[in-house]
Amino acid sequence: MKISRRSFLKATAAGIGSATLGGLGAVKAEATQPDQVKKWDDEAGVVVLGIGAAGLMTAITAYDQGTDALILEKAPKEHAGGNTRVSGQGYWCPADTDNAVEYQKALSDGFPIPDEVTEVFHKHSIHVTEWLTEMGADMRTIQTKGEYPEFPGGAEYVCWSKKGNGYQRLWLLLMENAFEKRKVRVRYETPAVELIRDVKTGEVRGVVAENKGKKIYIKAKKAVALCTGGFENNQEMIRDYLGMPCGYPKGSPYNTGDGIRMAMAIGADLWHMDNQAGPDFNFRIPGKDWAFGYSFSPPGHNWIWIAKDATRFTNETYFTKHGKIPFHGIYIPVPTPLPVHCVFDETMRKSGPLYPHEYFFCWWHDMEKYKWSEDSSYEIEQGWIIRADTLKELAEKIGKDPDTLEKTVSAWNKSCEEGNDSEFERDPKRMAPIQTPPFYAAEFVPAFTNTQGGPRRNSKAQVLDTNREPIPRLYSAGELGALYSWHYQGGGNILECLVFGRIAGEGTAAEKPWV
């Protein structure tokens, strides 16, 4: 794949973003002190923030260890579940610890994580299917070469429910185990906004939450577990840390970096802030804070992506490794020369919907339940897709140089005629000319599965401060400070939610109550 030096520099700008602590808004120098709380509104042995797989596994494990748990969830009940709820519901399920450790280290190449963290992760990862089976799951194992088959070790298997992937199956299993089979409590629409920390001992004693504009003080008698997800819907943090002008979640729009902000306010160290499972380009309905995802696959092939300068910039049909593409022996994120538009013609418009009707995950399908019109006529009527009789007119309407767009499409059509995309090596079977008017353009945005950065954690799921020492009574699990420092293995975040959720649940339950 050919990428210009300029595109490469834009793509690697993500590494610069991690040097700044901007984008989080002002944080208080000190957290609320326990003695400042006049009255606790609620309490539990373990207070878990977030109701995705990480939070549910933490609460389930703490309960099984004899400790009561309370989950605080930012979203209303109908939207709760984080990225887990709208994921494919599968997880990486290694068969051999040694192979998995070797592969994990290769994934971290250039951005290593402590060996003990990697080893503990995969000492547990090979048992996840056993845990889920005990909870009532009926799993199947699918053999795979892994996302990076050239790396040593391997990611031999991915596991799903035998009923199939998607459709919230794993999340619903965890919900059943937490709330029907155990006495875990939950408070929806009650996001935590601040950690309560004893300045003398350094211990986290609870959280300040909000509900309907009112502050609520929640006592954590043993510990707090941060399972709040990443910052997929925080545009400032996306600019500062990922080096992109903007980006949008394919998953939960409720992930706005809240846990990162709270942890930073009490001195937590951060890691992997410049990494993400993405980007790839997808459509976003204007005004929405989520993007379509995974499934842009129109029946016709009469389309290309064009950058701000009206030229192509990548192989549009390249199957990325969760947003990363090969570049001279390394992998880099897909370039984001915004604004990017998908340009196509009448032939493709008539070929069928741009996004399939039958799908099984992502926010747009599971939560919004949006159904793309058969011929894109509704989206055109809404003004989301721009129509023009000529390419020059189309270019003017979308703010591109008309002559450049005509040259770009002409070069594309010639490549189609020759059956050879010499510029970006697109598969000839997925090439067709853009020549039948009217012509169309839809703005596409960088979209990603999730971010990987957040508070640094150790092998015990404890959150570490800037001296790499544990912050007493504060734990984390899931994509909030995930282990994936650069490369990412599909199913790896759900696996991490389950493994470190269990570790966090055991650790929080083992703490001695401070009251």
**pLDDT tens per residue across span 54-90:** 999 999 999 999 999 999 999 999 999 999 999 999 9
> What average pLDDT does this structure show over 201-213?
97
Residue 31 has pLDDT above 80, yes or no: no
What residues have CB less than 8 Å from 474, skipping those under 6 apart?
A: 195, 204, 223, 224, 226, 263, 266, 268, 462, 463
Q: Place 30 in a pLDDT band, splitting at 50, 70 and 90.
A: low
pLDDT value at 26 more than 50: no
pLDDT at 294: 81
pLDDT of residue 496: 98
| Joined tokens for residue 141 | 């194992």
Which region holds residue 310: left if phi is over 0, alpha if psi is between -120 and 50, else beta?
left
Mean pLDDT of 278-305: 94
Residue 25 has pLDDT above 70, yes or no: no
pLDDT at 299 over 70: yes
Yes or no: domain 14-276+449-510 corresponds to CATH 3.90.230.10 = no
Choice between 110 and 220, residue whose per-residue pLDDT is larger: 220
pLDDT at site 359: 84
pLDDT value of position 32: 86
Q: Which has more confidence, 270 or 318?
A: 270
| Mean pLDDT to the nearest integer, 362-370 | 94
Per-residue model confidence (pLDDT) at position 18? 34
Whole-prediction pTM value? 0.93
Residue 309 has pLDDT above 90, yes or no: yes
Q: Which residue has the tokens 């959280």?
A: 207
pLDDT at 5 > cutoff 90: no
Report which of residues 481 and 25 the model is more confident about: 481
Average pLDDT over the chain reads 93
Q: What average pLDDT does this structure show over 5-11?
A: 36
Intervals of CATH 3.90.700.10 along the chain: 279-448
Task: For residue range 440-480, list pLDDT tens digits in order.
Answer: 999 999 999 999 999 999 999 999 999 999 999 999 999 99
- With a cut of 50, say whether residue 7 has pLDDT above it: no
DSSP label at 469? -
User: CATH 3.50.50.60 occupies which residues in the chain?
Assistant: 14-276+449-510
φ/ψ of 230, rounded to 5, equals -100, -150
Provide the CATH number for the domain formed by 279-448 in this structure.
3.90.700.10
pLDDT score recorded for residue 393:
98
Burial pattern 242-281, b for ≥16 Cβ within 10 A else e, equals: bbbeebbbbbbbbbbbbbbbbbbbbbbbbbbbbbbbbbbb
pLDDT for the residue 297: 86
Of 490, 456, 486, 492, the residue nearest 110 (C-alpha): 486
Q: What is the pLDDT of residues 116-137, one digit of tens each?
A: 999 999 999 999 999 999 999 9
Find the mean pLDDT for residues 259-268.
97
Q: What percent of the chain has a predicted confidence (pLDDT) above 90?
A: 89
Q: What is the pLDDT of residues 319-332, one digit of tens each?
A: 889 999 999 999 99
Label residue 241 by pLDDT band (50, 70, 90): very high
Rounded Cα gap, residues 267 and 417, in angstroms: 60
Which pLDDT band, with edges at 50, 70 and 90, does 1 fall under?
Answer: very low
Compare 18 and 464 and report the one with higher pLDDT. 464
Q: At what angle do helices 53-64 and 492-510 cross, to 10 degrees?
A: 30
CA–CA separation, 245 and 336 (whole Å): 8
